[in-house]
């Protein structure tokens, strides 16, 4: 993870001019070239060679890979053209499917940029420092916008962090106590708008953002931010081209933010941030049917929301080595920032959930589902199915999740299992407390988080003429995969469910000990418990609306139970996650560091009775697994890092094994009871599949090794 971050940061650093200049050594106008060679080696027992990335890519057929070798060449440049002008950029031949097995780019599709070895301009910029009083610099071209923040214009990338471009003006006043940034950022037509596009007229769609930071003393600072994101389309009512063509807004997104820090108390820092958002969308862009704009990063209709955080960091409590950090957070369900950070940022103090359960689905029950694709193959659990290929396997991601506020835009494309996974936390509200204590060679840390949800509602808060919940009355929130609170970790993109009444608690402790023998052994122990509960439908009227018979869209062996027979608790979801971890790291040689890891992850999940089907999801349930029961996942990992002058090697080897023991519950006279299969019964019909009652054993092996040479 760390190594990958460094590689990504290199691209940013080079492209954005952060790599230092030999201004004294280089002649004006001399161009400096530098770069890297990066090789990746993948192996695993899934034996999928879709790509040299093993993520949960959203483009079918381009991810889930655990095989092959590839090498990238990257060339960066910059030049001090004059005292007032500096330029830089990056070209690169990157891999997606550029396997060595392609024999030098001559794969089956030589013209396909994914498998050929084409060099491509990845980013270019010019930075002008005119020396005027009123402006420090103007940067034109590629930028990752790291000077703004994760709630407004987040640090941004898609494949690379220089994908985004725009114009950035920066200045200062009052002896640089006051600094300002003003930018126009072009919107990506690939995803930065309703239904993941910016319409047919896209070239001038942009975000305008300005911020002013005032730091008059070390004790306090204050920042104000305003952003306007605008997507225009040709006005269909303007048929007279003689005076040009008018435009109308497809959507507007305005965000303002105020944030500040006060450190004058000595023993405690106070940081607070407030953001308000306003989102308007043209009526004809999205309907309000459940299937309309189902895959979208924005609400379907106008809305406004807010998000705020308050952090208290106690750094001097009178006990040497003891610190306590606390955060209160509220990320409103209707907070919308289309340009918020999508990954590589973390807006919350909590560790959050474990990456191993994000997309780490069993992918087994679809073998038994009477649901076939056009080729006659089962849709899930089949090697050819998108659900299987489009994930990174049962192991999931290593480590913890990163929490972002980009609703529907949390993005994990082009990543590997050893990188952090991003997860949207729109709708989360609650608090976190993290004490840390260091004494001698020990370091202790703990966490308690209590999370409520602003997305707790019945039928999205909609009611019919009689005042009863009505999921078909025009829910404005996109459901996407619809697995937000259904799977173990759920989908990472959509934070919305039609019916939700959820709460979550996180408890975590960690102890690190430096065993002072020989080169020293880094020992680490950790335990985490997460209690995640969702009562979903909470009224009888809601049951009638939510569980309305599922006409023609589910397993034909399953007998729907409309309104769940009045059993309110029958759709409740309860998940208890446990993580136990121990690791030992050792500098075995001055150049080589090894770390051995063992983790045990368990989940005890009750996800409603067998009478329940995902509300309003219909056939989209092909992505969903039946998961009720006990899950156990063991991991032994071996990480290494090896440095020589100018070259770095790193690697992760993971072995997973464990099992899933399905359990079943049913509605017995309006009560929620355990279902014990009768003698001779081998499968239980559910809405998702006919589920075999036997436990299922899993194992997965995966390896990633890389080499990076910088020159």
Partner 1 sequence: MKSSFRRATVAVAGGVLASATALAADVTFKDPIGDDNGPGNYVYPTDGVYTPGSFDLVELDVKDGGNVGFEVTVNDALRDPWGMGVGFAVQMVFIFIDTKEGGHTVGLAGTNIAFAEDAGWEKVVILSPQPASRVQAEIRTKGGDVAGDIVVPRRTTGAGRTISAKVKKNELGEGDPATWGYQVVMQSNEGFPDKSDLLTRKVNEYEGQHRFGGGNDADCDPHVMDILAGKGEGADSEKQAQYDMLAYECGPEGGAVKMATLTMVRK
Interface with partner 1 in residues 533-592 (CB under 8 A): 587, 590-592
**Contact map string, positions 12 to 51, toward partner 1, x by CB under 8 A:** -xx-xxxxxxxxx---------------------------
**Contact map string, positions 283 to 322, toward partner 1, x by CB under 8 A:** ------------------------------x-x-----x-
Residue partners of 555: CB distance under 8 A and separation at least 6: 369, 370, 371, 685, 686, 687, 688, 689, 690
What is the DSSP annotation of 591-638?
A: TEEEEEEEEEEEEEEEE--TT---TTTGGGGGGPPP--EEEEEEEEEE
User: How far does CA 69 lie from the centroid of its chain?
Assistant: 26
**What residues numbered 339-378 form the site for partner 1, per CB under 8 A?**
345
Residue 354: DSSP 8-state: B
Q: Is 149 in the site for partner 1 (CB under 8 A)?
A: yes
Q: Could you say which of 127, 301, 361, 369 contacts partner 1 (CB under 8 A)?
A: 127
Nearest partner of 634 among 695, 560, 697, judged by Cα: 697
Distance, CA of 301 to CA of 287 (rounded, Å): 8
Look-up of token digits 């996800």? 607
Q: Could you say which of 39, 140, 262, 438 contacts partner 1 (CB under 8 A)?
A: 438
Q: Could you say which of 148, 453, 486, 665 contacts partner 1 (CB under 8 A)?
A: 148
**Cβ closest to partner 1, residue 587 vs residue 602:** 587
**Cβ closest to partner 1, residue 18 vs residue 165:** 18
Residue 482: DSSP 8-state: S
What are 183's two structure tokens?
């930018």
The window from 214-222, 286-294, 497-505, 678-686 that contacts partner 1 (CB under 8 A) reads: 214-222
**What residues numbered 637-656 form the site for partner 1, per CB under 8 A?**
641-646, 648
Count residues contacting partner 1 (CB under 8 A)? 74
Q: Where are the beta strands (DSSP E) in 243-395?
A: 247-262, 268-281, 303-314, 322-331
Q: Could you say which of 155, 361, 423, 502 contacts partner 1 (CB under 8 A)?
A: 155
For residue 358, CA distances in Å to 361, 386, 391, 402, 704 come to 8, 17, 10, 11, 19
**What residues numbered 88-107 form the site for partner 1, per CB under 8 A?**
none
The residue count for the chain: 711
Q: Is 480 in the site for partner 1 (CB under 8 A)?
A: no
Min dist CB 229 to partner 1, Å, is 19
**Cβ closest to partner 1, residue 10 vs residue 506:** 10
**Contact map string, positions 60 to 89, toward partner 1, x by CB under 8 A:** --------------------x--x------
**Cβ closest to partner 1, residue 26 vs residue 675:** 26
Q: Could you say which of 69, 263, 503, 574 contacts partner 1 (CB under 8 A)?
A: 263
Q: Could you say which of 106, 267, 367, 442 contacts partner 1 (CB under 8 A)?
A: 442
Q: Is 226 in the site for partner 1 (CB under 8 A)?
A: no
Distance, CA of 87 to CA of 77 (rounded, Å): 8
Min dist CB 6 to partner 1, Å, is 5
For residue 193, CA distances in Å to 239, 285, 540 come to 26, 10, 37
Min dist CB 350 to partner 1, Å, is 15
Q: Are 354 and 422 in contact (CB under 8 A)?
A: no
The Cβ of residue 489 has, within 10 Å, a number of other Cβ atoms equal to 25
């Amino acid at each position: 993870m760390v190594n990958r971050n460094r590689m990504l940061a290199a691209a940013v650093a080079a492209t954005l001019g952060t790599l230092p200049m030999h201004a004294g050594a280089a002649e004006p106008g001399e161009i400096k070239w530098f770069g890297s060679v990066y090789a990746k080696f993948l192996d695993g027992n899934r034996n999928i060679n879709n790509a040299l990335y093993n993520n949960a890519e959203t483009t079918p057929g381009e991810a889930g890979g655990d095989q092959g070798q590839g090498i990238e060449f990257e060339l960066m440049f910059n030049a001090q053209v004059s005292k007032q002008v500096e330029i830089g950029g990056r070209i690169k031949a990157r891999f997606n499917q550029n396997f060595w097995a392609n024999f030098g780019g001559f794969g089956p599709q030589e013209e396909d940029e994914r498998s050929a070895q084409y060099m491509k301009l990845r980013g270019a910029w010019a930075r002008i420092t005119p020396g005027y009083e009123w402006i420090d610099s103007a940067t034109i071209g590629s930028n990752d916008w790291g000077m703004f923040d994760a709630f407004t214009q987040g640090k941004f990338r898609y494949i690379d962090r220089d994908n985004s471009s725009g114009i950035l003006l920066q200045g200062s006043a009052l002896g640089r106590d006051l600094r300002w940034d003003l930018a126009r950022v072009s919107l990506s037509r690939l995803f930065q708008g309703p239904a993941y596009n910016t319409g047919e007229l896209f070239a001038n769609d942009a975000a305008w953002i300005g911020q002013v930071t005032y730091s008059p003393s070390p004790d306090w600072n204050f920042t104000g931010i305003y952003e306007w994101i605008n997507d225009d389309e040709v006005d269909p009512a303007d048929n007279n081209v003689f005076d040009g063509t008018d435009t109308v807004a497809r959507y507007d997104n305005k965000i303002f933010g105020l944030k500040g820090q006060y450190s004058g108390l000595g023993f405690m820092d106070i940081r607070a941030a407030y953001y308000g958002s306003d989102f308007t969308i043209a009526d004809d862009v999205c309907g309000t049917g459940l299937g309309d704009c189902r895959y979208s990063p924005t609400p379907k209709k106008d809305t406004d929301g807010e998000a705020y955080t308050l952090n208290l960091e106690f750094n001097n409590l009178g006990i040497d080595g003891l610190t306590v950090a606390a955060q209160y957070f509220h990320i409103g369900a209707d907070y919308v920032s289309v340009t918020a950070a999508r990954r590589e940022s973390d807006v919350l103090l909590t560790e959050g959930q474990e990456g191993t359960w994000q997309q780490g689905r069993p992918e087994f029950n679809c073998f038994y589902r009477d649901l076939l694709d056009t080729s006659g193959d089962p849709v899930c659990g089949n090697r050819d199915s998108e659900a299987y290929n489009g994930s990174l396997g049962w192991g999931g991601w290593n480590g913890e999740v990163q929490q972002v506020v980009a609703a529907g835009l949390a993005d994990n494309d082009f990543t590997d299992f050893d990188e952090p996974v991003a997860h949207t936390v729109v709708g989360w509200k609650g608090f976190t407390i993290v004490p840390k204590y260091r004494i001698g060679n020990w370091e202790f840390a703990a966490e308690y988080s209590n999370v409520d949800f602003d997305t707790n509602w019945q039928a999205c808060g909609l009611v019919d003429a009689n005042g009863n919940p009505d999921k078909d009355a025009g829910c404005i929130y996109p459901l996407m995969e619809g697995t937000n609170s259904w799977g173990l970790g759920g989908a990472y993109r959509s934070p919305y469910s039609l019916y939700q009444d959820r709460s979550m608690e996180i408890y975590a402790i960690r102890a690190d000990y430096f065993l002072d023998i020989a080169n020293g052994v880094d020992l680490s122990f950790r335990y985490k418990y997460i209690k995640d509960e969702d009562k979903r439908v909470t009224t009888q009227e809601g049951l009638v609306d939510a569980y309305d018979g599922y006409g023609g869209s589910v397993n034909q062996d399953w007998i729907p139970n409309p309104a769940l027979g009045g059993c309110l608790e029958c759709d409740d979801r309860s998940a208890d996650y446990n993580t136990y971890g121990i690791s030992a790291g050792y500098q075995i040689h001055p150049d080589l560091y090894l770390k051995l890891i063992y983790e045990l992850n368990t989940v005890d999940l009750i996800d409603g009775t067998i009478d329940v089907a995902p509300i309003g999801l219909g056939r989209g349930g092909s992505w969903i697994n039946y998961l009720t029961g006990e899950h156990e996942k063991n991991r032994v990992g071996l990480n290494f890092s090896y440095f020589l002058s100018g070259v770095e090697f790193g690697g992760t080897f993971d072995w997973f094994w464990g099992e899933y023991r399905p359990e079943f519950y049913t509605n017995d006279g309006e009560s929620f009871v355990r279902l014990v299969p009768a003698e001779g019964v081998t499968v239980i019909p559910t809405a998702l599949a006919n589920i075999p009652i036997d436990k299922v054993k899993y194992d997965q092996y995966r390896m990633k090794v890389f080499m990076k040479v910088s020159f």
